Amino acid sequence: MDLSEREREEYPPYLQLLMLLFYAVLGILVFSIIAVIVIISLYGLPALTNPAVMSGSEPRYLPAMQLLLMASSLGLFLTPALLLAITEGRKPQHFYGFKAPTLKILGLVVLIMIVSMPFMEWSMLTNQKLILPDFLKEVERWIREKENQTLQATINLLKMASIKGLLINLFLIAVLPAVSEELLFRGGVQRTLGRIFKNPHVSIWVAAAIFSAIHVQFYGFLPRMLLGAGFGYLYYWSGSLWYAILGHFLNNAYAVCAAYYMQKNNMSLAEMDTTANFTWYVYLISFILMIAAFGLFKKQTEKQITE
């Protein structure tokens, strides 16, 4: 007689989405409070009303901005994903799928990220050229103002005078978001949406759209959604979050390293995401190579599963 305890059935998917939302609100609240307490201890109570804290316009407030960024990753993204797995009575590594990656397939993820770079540049530049209808001109003006503020805050964050600054940003902008955001959006949201739609492609693209929308950057929506969908397919085909995490890390780490290189060579960071570096046929070749690389990844993961 088998006396082992059977795994109970998961909660309904709509309830899981509500739990993720509740845990996200709870997580960001708790970690924001912790961040605020630390900021007050470092800079005093007036720092809470100083716009330089959020924008990082003054170098002495950069640690406060970094702390708030860490609180966002831990509270808004990592916490809900971990708490959902715990609520379901599962270990996160089993609930979300953390099968050990293979070196060969990891190499394919690196290849995908490299060959897709020109195409992602095209999607970014195309998105930035979008113009809203005349009756939404005020909305467009407000969006562009917010985008410029976000861009300036990002530039302030990416100001790195030393290797130490580079390593800190690699952790805050590449490592932490890669793990926490993939756990939530691919592991949590995409996995749950898959139970609702019963169609992996719909769940991948809806999760990718949510992933992009939550960053609240209209003129970066398209490239971020495409990235999210790409990470979603890496997860779906392989059954392991490690490949999506690696892809996410490489994308963000490249931006950080590029910013560091530009500063070392006295280049303006303001032009980092607004200048075309390739011609149209390079974008086309990049798209073709990207699709081929994804196809090879799918073939290799299917082969690995059947072995």
pLDDT for 7: 61
Q: What's the pLDDT at 219?
A: 85
Domain ranges of the chain: 100-163+219-306
- The pLDDT assigned to 143 comes to 83
74-106: pLDDT as tens digits? 999 999 999 999 999 999 999 999 989 999 999
- pLDDT for res 265: 84
Using 70 as the pLDDT threshold, list the residues of the chain that sit under it: 1-7, 54, 56, 270-276, 305-307
Helix (H) or strand (E) run with residue 303 in it? helix 280-306
* pLDDT for the residue numbered 133: 85
Q: Structure pTM?
A: 0.92
